[in-house]
Structure 1
């Protein structure tokens, strides 16, 4: 199977996941796994902005150790890479262990991470997080890889927005159900 066929199959699988479940954890896990396998990389992760817009919290990961996933939130004051990505740019990091823009260089080295490609997650042109793929050897990502990851990030953002809308509708529905109609008697 050539790379493009792998991309199309992964995009299809991600789209099916978005459309078949309202469980955001399951959908995002499926998406990051599809992305990592299609791009033939060590790992993939998705991080979401906290409500204050100051940190990126773990959303989903594939191919990363529990230790790496638990290293803590990404503080945007400490991560120039993520600030740049959240402004709408795609960023490549040649070596995460030595690039001062990458907050967790030592943790990346310990995890065996070398190159990283980071793309924004956007909903209605507002940043909601970032998606990253990681390699275990130095790699320059080409335009097609950037385009693929950007496309799958857009599907991820759609899944996140669908889950948020579902939760809002569910809360509204529950409040309607709890309304005491006896007040009109």
Structure 2
């Protein structure tokens, strides 16, 4: 990718650095089956591993067409309250849900970005967005942001895509666990006639 005088790269990592960060992130993702903990560990680990300023994970609701905020690291409450994100108004997320990573050098001027004014107020500049996919189906998106113009290269894209795949599997496992636990508690409650509370 071309880099001009006003554009910088994400701090360059060697392949060894990426492998180490990937291994550590994978351990973090699988350290819990509690969905909220999994989601928060994903955005925190990715922000640290990629040395970016913020990371957001949104899960897709097929019924409403919206991407619901599920976990965030590095963004203010004011920015997060900017409004709903739906695929009819967000070309970035539409592309990502179709399976294509999206890089934007300056979200403040790119018309594909839904909330340009909010990005300016937050100080956000560049973005990389990848899909969260399980068994070939997109369940959401991962976005990372920097506060300076950044030229994300192929290594960055591949790294975040792999992390997205691992995160999607961790999310799916946590959802399955919650479903099994809920069913178990329901059965126990029905047998004993009282709500079951796990220890």
* TM-score, normalised by the number of residues in structure 1: 0.89
Q: Does 1:43 align with 2:54?
A: yes
Structure 1: 5+ residue runs without aligned partners? none
Aligned to 1:129: 140
CA distance in 2, matches of 1:107, 1:87: 25
1:34-183 aligned within 5 A: 34-52=45-63, 54-180=65-191
Q: Does 1:21 align with 2:32?
A: yes
Shift of residue 3 of structure 1?
Answer: 4.1
Shift of residue 92 of structure 1?
Answer: 0.7
Deviation string, structure 1 residues 90-147 (Cα, Å, up to 9, x no partner): 1111211111111111111111111100000011111111001111111121110000
CA distance change for structure 1 residues 82 and 159 in 2, over 3 Å: closer, same or farther? Answer: same
Aligned to 2:41: 30
CA distance in 2, matches of 1:8, 1:177: 44
Shift of residue 25 of structure 1?
Answer: 2.0
Q: Is the 8 A contact 2:34 2:178 kept in 1?
A: no
Moved more, 163-172 or 112-121: 163-172
Q: Secondary structure at the match of 1:60?
A: strand
Q: Secondary structure at the match of 1:75?
A: coil
* TM-score, normalised by the number of residues in structure 2: 0.83
Moved over 4 A (4+): none
Q: Is the 8 A contact 1:3 1:38 kept in 2?
A: no
CA distance in 2, matches of 1:176, 1:33: 36
CA distance change for structure 1 residues 153 and 21 in 2, over 3 Å: closer, same or farther? Answer: same
Moved more, 162-171 or 78-87: 162-171
CA distance in 2, matches of 1:2, 1:77: 36
Q: Is the 8 A contact 2:28 2:45 kept in 1?
A: no
CA distance in 1, matches of 2:189, 2:35: 26
Structure 2: 5+ residue runs without aligned partners? 1-11, 193-199
> Larger % of helix: which?
1
Tell me the matched-pair count: 182
CA distance in 1, matches of 2:76, 2:17: 25
Shift of residue 164 of structure 1?
Answer: 1.0
